[in-house]
């Protein structure tokens, strides 16, 4: 953890700040190891302050090393009234997360020589590049999630409700020691045409496609995967849709390596789907970073200019959603490596009928 704070401290000049105030629980966990719900830290070249309230003092003593510990006064942010040098300080804050009210209160509490400067995203950029230990945790979460789904598929899909399947997946994840990474999506038939359909109480029929998007959280890290299965024998149109998404997913996955910008990888899938006349049915980005949050940097999308680099973990998940007909999405979780990529999702991607 101390190495992470070190790396962020080295980035402070880029944001033209002397110190960074970190209030986001996820970023705080990343930098300090603290798993409680209320804390903050201040990082500068010579500064490692960690503040929490009385409930978490003992936990912080166990989890947080390399920082000076302080117990907050009753008003949490008032801890920041003290402890500043007598010269001007530019204090960066996470402007994408701090509330307007917290900002106003901080301005009142801080001494006059401390200037608040918007500096959001510094920790997120650091988090985007995973360390070897983080990659192994994500790999373990993905393997756990794959096992859980295989167990559920063993009982078939047709005749069960979407909701029952979603619950079974989440239960199987929990029995293996994980937590669901997000609310499991199970979308059958025409429901599949909505990318984020909520599982309903209709029975999954024979002869259709069923999209399942699920993941596990393990030691704070997430996995994210989608497979579209068949029940019985779906019609020719649905099979063609599946073949298109399968081809687009494979082509984009093949382009994941150090170098290309997120938008270039996105374009590979988007052009294939567009050429087949389904451009308007692929309304979301190709993928997103995954780590301590299910959606984090970097993005694979038409607007993503950042180049992929070793240590990035992203999803590759093209989808085609045809209103009134159905949808297909195939999503793999993949790490960028020096030589290319390492795919964490191991369930097959040929159209499989699970009955
Ligand atoms: Zn997903
Ligand atoms: Zn995803």
Model pLDDT for residues 27-40, shown as the tens digit of each residue? 999 999 999 999 99
Say how many Å lie between the CA of residue 317 and the centre of ligand 2: 7
DSSP for 262-289, written as a single string: HHHHHHHHHHHHHHTT-GGG--S-SEEE
Ligand number, closest to the Cα atom of 288: 2
Say how many Å lie between the CA of residue 346 and the centre of ligand 2: 16
Q: What is the pLDDT of residue 197?
A: 80
What's the rounded mean pLDDT across residues 269-285?
97
Q: How far apart (Å, rounded) are the C-alpha atoms in residues 102 and 117?
A: 14
Ligand number, closest to the Cα atom of 285: 2
Q: Any idea what DSSP says for residue 14?
A: G
Which distant-in-sequence residues (6+ apart) come within 8 Å of 75 by Cβ?
none
Say how many Å lie between the CA of residue 233 and the centre of ligand 2: 27
Share of the chain above pLDDT 90, in %: 95
- What is the distance of C-alpha 347 from the center of its chain? 20
Ligand number, closest to the Cα atom of 187: 1
Say how many Å lie between the CA of residue 157 and the centre of ligand 2: 22
Say how many Å lie between the CA of residue 327 and the centre of ligand 2: 15
Query: Is 299 within 8 Å of 289 (Cβ atoms)?
Result: yes
pLDDT tier, 1 (very low <50, low <70, confident <90, very high otherwise)? low
Torsion sign over Cα 285, 252, 143, 159: positive
Q: Which residues are close to ligand 2, an ion, with C-beta < 5 A?
A: 224, 315
What's the rounded mean pLDDT across residues 254-268?
98
Q: Any idea what DSSP says for residue 158?
A: T
Ligand number, closest to the Cα atom of 196: 1
Model pLDDT for residues 288-311, shown as the tens digit of each residue? 999 999 999 999 999 999 999 999
Q: How far apart (Å, rounded) are the C-alpha atoms in residues 269 and 284?
A: 12
What's the rounded mean pLDDT across residues 181-206?
91
DSSP for 51-89, written as a single string: EE-GGGHHHHHHH--SSEEEE--SSGGGGGGS---SS-E
Model pLDDT for residues 88-122, shown as the tens digit of each residue? 999 999 999 999 999 999 999 999 999 999 999 99
Ligand number, closest to the Cα atom of 299: 2
Say how many Å lie between the CA of residue 144 and the centre of ligand 2: 17
Neighbours of 287 (CB within 10 A): 29
Positions of E strands within the chain:
19-22, 39-44, 47-52, 68-71, 89-93, 114-118, 179-180, 185-188, 208-214, 216-218, 221-222, 225-231, 287-289, 296-300, 313-316, 319-322, 326-329, 332-337, 340-343
Question: Residue 261 pLDDT > 80, yes or no?
Answer: yes
Let me know if 295 is exposed, middle or buried by CB neighbors in 10 A (0-12, 13-18, 19+).
middle
Q: How far apart (Å, rounded) are the C-alpha atoms in residues 4 and 58?
A: 22
Share of the chain above pLDDT 70, in %: 100
Say how many Å lie between the CA of residue 345 and the centre of ligand 1: 11
Say how many Å lie between the CA of residue 250 and the centre of ligand 1: 16
Q: Which residues pair with 217 in a beta bridge?
A: 179, 222
Q: Which residues are close to ligand 1, an ion, with C-beta < 5 A?
A: 213, 224, 226, 331
Say how many Å lie between the CA of residue 72 and the centre of ligand 1: 39
């Amino acid at each position: 953890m101390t190495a992470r704070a070190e790396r962020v401290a080295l980035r402070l000049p880029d944001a033209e700040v002397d110190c960074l105030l970190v209030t986001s629980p996820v970023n705080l966990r990343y930098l300090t190891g603290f798993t409680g719900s209320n804390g903050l830290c201040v990082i500068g070249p010579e500064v490692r302050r960690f503040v929490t309230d009385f409930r978490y003092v003992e936990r912080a003593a166990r989890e947080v090393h390399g920082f000076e510990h302080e117990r907050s006064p009753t008003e949490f942010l008032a801890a920041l009234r003290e402890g500043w040098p007598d010269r001007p300080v530019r204090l960066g804050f996470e402007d994408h997360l701090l509330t307007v009210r917290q900002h106003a209160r901080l301005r009142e509490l801080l001494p006059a020589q401390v200037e608040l400067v918007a500096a959001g995203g510094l920790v997120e950029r650091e988090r985007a590049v995973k360390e070897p230990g983080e990659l192994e945790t994500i790999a373990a979460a993905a393997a756990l999630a794959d096992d859980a789904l295989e167990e559920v598929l063993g009982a078939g899909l047709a005749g069960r409700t979407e909701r029952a399947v979603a619950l079974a997946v989440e239960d199987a994840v929990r029995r293996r020691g994980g937590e669901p990474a997000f609310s499991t999506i199970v979308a059958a038939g025409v429901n599949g045409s909505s990318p984020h359909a909520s599982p309903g109480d209709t029975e999954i029929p024979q002869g259709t496609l069923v999209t399942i998007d699920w993941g596990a959280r393990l030691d704070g890290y997430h996995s994210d995967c989608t497979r579209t299965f068949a029940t019985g024998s779906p019609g020719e149109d649905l099979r063609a849709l599946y073949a298109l998404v399968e081809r687009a997913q494979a082509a984009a996955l093949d382009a994941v390596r150090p170098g290309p910008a997120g938008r270039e990888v996105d374009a590979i899938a988007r052009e294939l789907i567009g050429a087949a006349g389904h451009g308007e049915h692929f309304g979301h980005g190709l993928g997103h970073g995954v780590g301590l949050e299910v959606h984090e940097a970097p993005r694979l999308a038409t607007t993503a200019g950042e180049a992929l680099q070793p240590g990035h973990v992203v999803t590759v998940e093209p989808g085609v959603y045809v209103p009134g007909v159905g949808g297909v999405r195939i999503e793999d979780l993949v790490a960028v490596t020096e030589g290319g990529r390492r795919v964490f999702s191991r369930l097959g991607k040929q159209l499989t009928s699970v009955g």
